Amino acid sequence: MPVAGRVFLPSVTMWLLLQSLLLLASCLRSAAAFPKGCYPSEEEGLKTFRCSNARLTEVPRDIPNDTNKLYLDSNRIPFLPRDAFWDLPLLLELDLSHNAIASVESGAFRGLAEHLHSLDLSSNRLVSVSKDAFSNLKAKVNLSNNPWLCDCRLQELIRTVDLAAGSSGGIVCDSSTQEDHVGKAFLQVIADTDFCNMYKKTTDIAMLVTMFGWFAMVISYLVYYVRQNQEDARRHLEYLKSLPSKQRRSEESSTISTVV
């Protein structure tokens, strides 16, 4: 073998070995950046990031931004802050079931409206959530198995979101403005009860009572004021009657003009 060939072969081998080491180091560095218990994979041609049962107490920050399916189920996440998933524009499925989520801030799902088609929030601790938290979201949403308060707020939320097939029966009243609703499926309850209409009627009655109270106070003050003036005028006239006649006439005319 020529000398040039013998020199070239080890050089290529060293170069390939160096590339392999760099690739391995890159993979190890990427893996170290992920929270413990989280790992990327590919499922059915979709880039998936799994953090199931990872004992997470918040949404991880180092999720690859080309993730299509994100599993954060069976953790200890207590709430979803604003822009929690802002860096995941290609996300199609998001599983947040079996956590401790009790609060969802408005804008928590901002940036996901265009692509997200499945959102699972079942088996959490949601009692009441503003409809604004899901604004413009087109995903099928699972809200079952949460300790819901059945009221106008929940009614507005249900009207806003597109419920996942078969999940509506799992939205049950854990508490309600009416005790006989407790333990019943919310869709069964609102078939006979319009919570928002009840709230409007209650608000209207409260406003009427308040207005009547103020009106009664004003009338009472006016009656008191008139009676007080009449009493003062009567006392002054009696006083004038006790004065000598000439002085009494001049002061009577002054008193009468004042009363008029």
Instruction: List pLDDT tens digits, range 106-148.
Output: 999 999 988 999 999 999 999 999 999 998 899 999 999 999 9
Average pLDDT over residues 188-201: 78
Residue 237: exposed, middle, or buried by beta-carbon count in 10 A (0-12, 13-18, 19+)? middle
Is-contact 147 175, C-beta < 8 A? yes
Instruction: List pLDDT tens digits, range 64-84.
Output: 999 999 999 999 999 999 999
Query: Which CATH superfamily is 32-193 part of?
Result: Ribonuclease Inhibitor (3.80.10.10)
Torsion (CA) 146, 147, 152, 158 in degrees, nearest 10: 10
Helix, strand and coil in the chain, % to nearest 5: 45, 15, 40
**Domains in the chain: boundaries:** 32-193, 194-229
Average pLDDT over residues 191-218: 60
Residue, of 78 and 251, whose pLDDT is higher: 78
pLDDT of residue 4: 46
Is the pLDDT reported for residue 237 higher than 80? no
Average pLDDT over residues 198-212: 47
The residues, any chain, with a CB within 8 Å of residue 243's CB and separated by 6 or more, are 251
Average pLDDT over residues 155-159: 95
The residues, any chain, with a CB within 8 Å of residue 24's CB and separated by 6 or more, are none
Is the pLDDT reported for residue 44 higher than 80? yes
Q: In the structure, what pLDDT confidence band is assigned to residue 2 with cuts at 50, 70 and 90?
A: low
